Structures are given as C-alpha cells and as structure tokens.
Structure 1
Amino acid sequence: MTPVSTDTVEVGSRPPEPAPATNRGVTVVLYVLTAAVPALAALGLLVAMGTSARPGRGTPTGSGPADHSVQLFVSIAVVILAARLFGRLAKRLGQPQVVGEIFAGLCLGPSVLGALVPGAGSWLFPVELRPVLQGLADLGLIALMFVVGQETRQTSLKGQGRVATAIAHAGIAGPFLGGALLAILLYRDWAGPQASPVVFAMFLGSALSITAFPVLARILAERGMLRTLLGRLSMLCAAIADVVAWCLIAAMTAVAGRDTPARAVLTVTLVIVYGAAMTWLARPWLTRVFAALEGREEMRLLVLLAGLLVSAAATSAIGIHAIFGAFLYGLCCPAGSLTRLTERINSVSGVLLLPFFFVGTGLRTDIWRSGFDTTLLGVTALVIVVAMLGKLTGPMLMARASGLSWPDSATLGVLLNARGLTELVVLNLGLALGLLSDRLFVVLVLMALVTTAATAPLLGLLDRVTSHRDRSGRGL
C-alpha cells in the first residue's frame, strides 16, 4: 500500500509563492521615475502657484496664526529657558532671582538682542504674536497679584501694628514727595501724552513708594530672616505701604484718561462700591465656600481660579486694570487654608507665565531708540538717588524713633527699598495709560533694576559693618 502522508493542506489555501528575483538597480530607477519625480514636480508646482498668486483672488494677503506656529513655540521655549538661566545666574551672584529674570527680558528686547542681531528679535517676536504673548503676560500678572494679596492677608499685625504702620507711612510719604518734586522737573519733556500735571505727580509719587512684596519675601527667606522680628516687621511695613500705594494707583488710574469729570467720579464710585462689596459680602461668603469644600482640592482650585478671573474682569469692566481685581480677590480669600493652592498657582505662573511679562517689558524698553545720551543718564541717576533716599531715610529714622537699633533700622530701610517686579507692573500700567513717555519708561525700568539689585550688596555691607563693630566692642 502507498503510505498516507501525515501532512494536511487546509482547504482553500495555496502554498506561498516564492518571491520574484529583483534587480536593485532597476528598482531604484523605477522608484525615481514613479515616486520621487512626480512628488518633486507636484511640490514645485504648488510652490510656483503660491508665489504667483495675486491678492484678491482667494489668497490671504497676510499671515495667519498658523504661519507663526513655529515662532510661537520657539519663542515660548526661549523665553522660559532664558528666564530660568538668568534667574539662576543671579542667585549665584547673590541677587534675587527676579533680578536675573528682569535682565533676561531686557536682553531679549531691542536694547540687546535687537541691537546685536536685529533679525533674530523680529523673527522670535513678530508683531502678529504680540497679542498672544501679552495674553500670557496678563495671566501671569493676575496670578502674581492674587499671590501678593494672599501674602498680605496672611501677614499678621499682632503686637507690631502701631510701629509697622508708622514706619510704612514714613516709607510712603518720603518717596511720594520725591516723586512729586521730580514730576515738576520732568513734566514738560518726559511725561506721556495723556498725563496731566496732577496725575503725573500722583503716578511718580506712587511708583517710587512701591515695595516689591514678593521679592522682599524671597530675600528674607534666602537670608534666613523670614521668621525673625526684623523680617516680620519689614513684611508688615511692605504690606501696609503696598496697600496704600495700590489704592493711590487705583484712584489715579480711574481719573487718568477720562473724558469728563463725571466719568471719573463714576469710575471712582464704582471702585469704592466694588471694594466694599468684596470686603463685606464676598469675603465671608468665600470663607464659607472654601470651608465647605475642605478636602476637595480640585473643586477648590476651580472655584479659586474662576473667582480670580471674574474679579479681574470686574475691575477691568469698571475702568481700571484687571490686576486690582486680582489683588483684592487675594485679600478677600481666606488666609492659611489656601496655602497649597496659592503655592501651586505661584509656581506655575512663575515658571510659565511671568517670564512673558518680563519679555514684554524688555520689548518696550529700547534704550537706543530713546536716545542713550548724557541727559538720559543724568535723569536716571537723579531718579535713582531720589527713590533710594526716600525709601531709606524715612523708614530708617522712624524705626530708630520706635526703639530699633541703628543697624536694624538701616536694614529695614534697605529691605523696603527693593522694588523689582511690582515696580515693573506699575510702570507698564503707566505706559499703557499714556502717562509715561518711552524715555521716562526706560529711566524708571533702570531705576527698578538698580534699586532691587542694590538690596543684597547693601545688606552685606551692613552685616560687615555690624560684625566689625561687634568685634571692636569685644576688643575694647
């Protein structure tokens, strides 16, 4: 018998056919003729059609948002990396991180990058992308002012309120007087197109009275002074001074640029009504809402962000800047229970959003276009001297009269002299309102950078003088 094969063949299937032998050279030629050449020809045809298209025949005449997607993503990466790099360099040099971030923004603007590589600045930050970058900067500012409001709310006046209030008032009155005197000197040639003499004097006085509350807190933390008596007292003074200064700026903003006195009165009235409503109605309501949402962090974050944006929109609709609504919302939210959420908002805005504010400031600061001459340098030096004398002298003398030693009084004055980021917020507001000329904006930006950068060296000098006196006293 013929043996039966044990191999089975599935019904309907065919054994695989062997692969045909191929000639590699022929395959390459055929690929070039059938794939590469038609693809390149089609691409060339599309390019030719695009360059020869005439406006008005269905072809857009300008660049749409999609045309700048590459620049947008590259500029975001450059801004964030530059801010972090310059911030770390500043910390290594013993400066607050914000000094490096401000300097990074100036370097990416026309004063440095635009002067060295003109094409790079216009490619990174084309005009079409400016609204997007400004939107990111505005979100960062709103988050910052909320954090400042929360930190101000958490600063207790217990046991030191009288002394802190007196020192804070001295830290406002001196710089305000200096700013008003500068306004008399600078108004004719340096004021903006929308500035009346009174409003210009109010703005300069308020701008010189500002203390950078967030910068001060970070300086104290880096030096281990945050929990000391002097550190707490300086925080109290800065909180009181900034609340008063922001109230003055809000009033000035409500008046500036109004067509009629009746409109200005209406805006001021609405601001007062909104502030009272937030203080007497929203504040206890927010306390109850966040207490009811205890343990539900995502819901609390949602309510927090929604309320923040609504408050910012409300003050913007009234006629003053959205940052005032954010600051007031931070003052009204309960202190202590929102610490973790506030830290989350602060970390995200500090890394992702605030660098765009620094870049926006840098793009508006063009030293060369403003005329970098002896007049500009002389006015800058004068403004720096007046700003520093006002902030150093008044608080130092009042602190000494309140019982502090001369070294502690001098340290307090130096700490309150740091203006930093908060000063830039005020200056950008003044420029947007037409109260500052471009040249005076450059001068005041340089003043903010110098007064903030001078804080660490002055504190180090005071430490050395104090330690030398202690050693001399022990030797005697």
Structure 2
Amino acid sequence: MTQTSPGPVDVGPRSAEASPPANTRATAVVYALTAALPALAAVGLLVLMGSSGPGGGTALTGAGPADHSVQLFISIAVVILAARLFGRLATAVGQPRVVGEIFAGLCLGPSVLGALLPGAGAWLFPAELRPVLQGLADLGLIALMFVVGQETRQTSFKGQGRVAMAVAHAGIAGPFLGGALLAILLYPDWAGPQADPVVFAMFLGSALSITAFPVLARILVERGMLRTLLGRLSMLCAAIADVVAWCLIAAMTAVAGRDTPARAVLTVALVIVYGAAMAWIGRPWLARIFAALEGGREEVRLLVLLSGLLLSAAATSAIGIHAIFGAFLYGLCCPAGSVTRLTERIDTVSGVLLLPFFFVGTGLRTDVWRSGLDASLLGVTALVIVVAMLGKLAGPMLMARASGFGWPDSMTLGVLLNTRGLTELVVLNLGLALGLLSDRLFVALVVMALVTTAAAAPLLGLLDRVRGHGDRRRRGL
C-alpha cells in the first residue's frame, strides 16, 4: 500500500483577520510614500524652523546641550578604547599595561593629537567637558588609592620586616636627597608660582621616593616572581616606602598654599587627628561592621564600602588636603578578608572605566610644544631621569647586598623599586594643582615616570640573562 507524505497541518479554517499574501514591491512603494517621505519632510521642516527662529538653531548647530552629550559619549568611548588598545600594545612588547595607558593619554593630548589635528582635539575634549572628565578621573583616583591601601594592608611583614625596613629606608633617603638637591638647582626657574624653597624640595624629594605599588605587583605576577623571596621583599619595601612618602606628601600638601603659619599648623593637626581616629576608632568599627554584614547580600556590603570610601575622601578634602589621602587611609583601615572580593570589583571598574580619564587629564596638561621643546627642557628631563634612577637603584641595591643578597638579586630589587608608573602621575598632578610645579618641570617629571617604569622590563631581562650566565659558569657548562 503506497503511503503519501502528509501535507501541512490544518490548524483550522482561515480567520478573517489573517494577513493576506503581500506584494513586496507595492509594499515598499506605499511605505516610502506614507512613512519615509513624510518623516523626512517633517525633519526638514524642523531644521528650517530652527535655523530661522530666535537663536539661530543652537541645538542643531553645535552649541547646545544635546551636542555636548554626543561629544561626551564619543569622548568616553575614545578614551576607554585608546587606553585598552595602547595597554594591549604595551603588554605585547613586554611592558606593563600602565606604560601603554600613560602613552595613550599623552597621545590624546596637545602633544600629539592637538599638534597633528588641533580641530579634532578641541572637538573631542572641549572646555565644557573638562569638569566632567576631571570628575571621572577623580573617582578613578579615589578607587585606585583605596586599592593601594588594601594591598598595602594585606602585605605581610612576617620574617622579613627588618630587612624590608632597612631596604625601604635606603630607597627613600637616597631619592629624597636627590630630589632636594635638584630643588636647589631648579627652584629659581622651574618651580611653580605657589612653591617656596622648602615645600618645593619636600615635594621633589617625596615624588622621587615613590614606588608604584600596583604596577610593581603586576610586574611580579607577569614574571612569576610574586611568591618568591625577592618578590615578597620588594612588595614589603614598596609598601613601607609608599606609606612614608604619602605621609610626607600629606604634610607638604597641608603646608602648601596656606596664607599663615597658623592655618598650616591647624591643617597638619587635623590630618594627624583624622589619621589617628581612623587607625584607633575607624579600623575596629569597620571590622565589626563588615563582620556583621558577612554572609549577607554583596550589594549591601558594596554600598557600605563605597559610602565609607567617599565619606573618608570628603573628610580629608574638607580638612584641606587631597581626597586621595582619605581613600588611602580608608583602604588601610578596611578589613582585608571581608572586602577582598569587593576590592577586586572596584579595581576592575576603576581600571577599565575611570582611570583612563586620569591618563587623559595628565596628557591634556602635558604640552611639550607650549612648554618649549628646547635644550634646557631636554637637559632637565635627562637630569631628572638620572637622579631618579640612581637614587632608587643605589640605596636598595647596596642595602640588599649588605643583608646577604647577591649582586644580581640586589640589582633586581633596585630595578623593581624604580617603577613609578601611575602613582607617580598622581603625585605630579597633585603638585601641579597646588602650584608647586611649572608646566615645563611637569613635562620633565611625566617623562621621567614613563621612562623609569618602561626601563624595568628590559633591565630585569638583562639581569635574568646575567644570572643565568653565572649559573651556567658555576655548573661548568
């Protein structure tokens, strides 16, 4: 018996509302006549009315808020994508990601984009958008300093505290002395309008003493050194050095720009009181609060964490020093175990979305052409680089050698502590905002931060080859 294939399933009689077969060409023609052409005509009419009415159609010609919104969204996209692209390129050639991000900010500023395409640079970052971009950058800085405070707190001093303390002190004293000597040479012509000789010397000494704790951690992870003796020791030294350096910078910030000695003393006293209150009262209370919230919803803990972070930043800002010091103190005082996952989330959002605007802000302030790319700027830049590198290399290297490390390991420690990166840019922007740096010296110091950070990878590679060659010689190969 022959079987026939079943036809379409009959779902019932066709209803009166079912769509009839469509004529595609006729539908397109009718759509153009009844929908597309009337819509285009309406838009054209609105344009004509706007251009002929009062104000000349500012909303459609580029001066209205809608136009700035478009610029803002495009600027945000360009900044994030440029930071990501240059960061990837940096890691591809063996450099820390932050080197590429710094370079991206410089390229988007007047030194590169503004020089090659001044119209594009002015349209992408108009004066009306600068406060918004600066606000995003400030949020990124606050988040960064909180993360640095957390990482500093989680660094264990067990078994290596004495050596780390000695090496860290050597890594502070040498660069600080070098910065103070530079200040004597540079003060008459290179200091900012608000700098007196003592504050200028304190600032340069503190700036040259900085080690970029987050950059150092990433270099150690990328090279597989984080769990080694040398890696742990470098993290300890960086933590100690940065705490001391930030205390010096906080004191200098409290004094800078104050009209009378009484106001400076009051600001310093308030900073000390707030730091003591955070350490003795805030720290145990934060531990109790997050312990009580443990096991609950993560969103609630994140809300409490961010609220406390912003309040601490606001407190130091109200005292008269930068909000980053409040964020750093808050990171130091928050319990490490309870907020570790939250810290990672903040670090991710900050690194991808917010910190690129800080790099762009630095790039917009760095104009090598306006500063005058002449022999004096090149000479001062070279001098600053040499003093910064020698100060950070010599002291830690000699102290590590005296503590029993071999020369290659001692030199490796000095190279690791020479990475300044993002943290140095934070300090330099602070000095420029306080009027302690001239535009020309700011350019020289930004280049120094970039060079000292970029030099770490090739120098570490060279030391690895020296160490490997020495091992082969000892084995008789």
Structure 1 and Structure 2 fold alike (TM over 0.5): yes
Aligned to 2:356: 355
Counterpart of 2:272 in structure 1: which amino acid? Answer: I
SS in structure 1 at match of 2:335: coil
Alignment of 1:383-402 (within 5 A): 383-402=384-403
Question: 2:31 and 2:99 mapped to 1: Cα distance?
Answer: 63
SS in structure 2 at match of 1:475: coil
SS in structure 2 at match of 1:369: helix
1:296-340 deviation line (CA, Å, top 9, x unaligned): 222111111110000000000111000000000000001223211
- 1:344 and 2:356 correspond: no
Alpha carbons 1:417, 1:451 under 8 Å: kept: yes
Residue 469 (structure 1) shift? 1.6
Residue 66 (structure 1) shift? 2.7
Measured at CA, do residues 37 and 160 of structure 1 come closer, stay the same or move farther in structure 2, by a change above 3 Å? closer
Alpha carbons 1:370, 1:438 under 8 Å: kept: yes
Measured at CA, do residues 39 and 184 of structure 1 come closer, stay the same or move farther in structure 2, by a change above 3 Å? same
- 1:219 and 2:219 correspond: yes
Alpha carbons 2:59, 2:67 under 8 Å: kept: no
Alpha carbons 1:183, 1:197 under 8 Å: kept: yes
Aligned to 1:271: 271
Higher alpha-carbon deviation: 281-290 or 125-134? 125-134
Aligned to 1:257: 257
Aligned to 2:95: 95
Counterpart of 1:174 in structure 2: which amino acid? Answer: G
How many residues end up aligned between the 2 structures? 460
Alpha carbons 2:51, 2:57 under 8 Å: kept: no
Measured at CA, do residues 293 and 378 of structure 1 come closer, stay the same or move farther in structure 2, by a change above 3 Å? same
Higher alpha-carbon deviation: 375-384 or 332-341? 332-341
Alignment of 1:77-476 (within 5 A): 77-296=77-296, 297-475=298-476
Aligned to 2:3: none
Measured at CA, do residues 114 and 336 of structure 1 come closer, stay the same or move farther in structure 2, by a change above 3 Å? same
Residue 475 (structure 1) shift? 2.2
Question: 1:211 and 1:225 mapped to 2: Cα distance?
Answer: 17
Alpha carbons 1:53, 1:59 under 8 Å: kept: no
Residue 233 (structure 1) shift? 0.5
1:146-201 deviation line (CA, Å, top 9, x unaligned): 00000000011111111111111110110001111111111111111111111111
Measured at CA, do residues 119 and 147 of structure 1 come closer, stay the same or move farther in structure 2, by a change above 3 Å? same
Question: 1:30 and 1:351 mapped to 2: Cα distance?
Answer: 45
Alpha carbons 2:59, 2:65 under 8 Å: kept: no
SS in structure 1 at match of 2:295: coil
Counterpart of 1:433 in structure 2: which amino acid? Answer: L
The CA RMSD over aligned residues, in Å, is: 2.8
Alpha carbons 2:50, 2:56 under 8 Å: kept: no
Residue 113 (structure 1) shift? 1.1
1:51-106 deviation line (CA, Å, top 9, x unaligned): 45556999999944432111111111111111111111111101001101111111
SS in structure 2 at match of 1:211: coil
Question: 1:39 and 1:55 mapped to 2: Cα distance?
Answer: 25
Measured at CA, do residues 31 and 341 of structure 1 come closer, stay the same or move farther in structure 2, by a change above 3 Å? closer
Residue 29 (structure 1) shift? 11
Alignment of 1:59-78 (within 5 A): 63-78=63-78
Measured at CA, do residues 234 and 119 of structure 1 come closer, stay the same or move farther in structure 2, by a change above 3 Å? same
1:377-400 deviation line (CA, Å, top 9, x unaligned): 111000000000000000101111
Alpha carbons 1:163, 1:402 under 8 Å: kept: yes
Counterpart of 2:73 in structure 1: which amino acid? Answer: F
Measured at CA, do residues 463 and 35 of structure 1 come closer, stay the same or move farther in structure 2, by a change above 3 Å? closer
Report the structure number with the largest CA radius of gyration: 1
Alpha carbons 1:65, 1:128 under 8 Å: kept: no
Question: 1:258 and 1:411 mapped to 2: Cα distance?
Answer: 42
Question: 2:38 and 2:172 mapped to 1: Cα distance?
Answer: 75
Alpha carbons 1:98, 1:420 under 8 Å: kept: yes
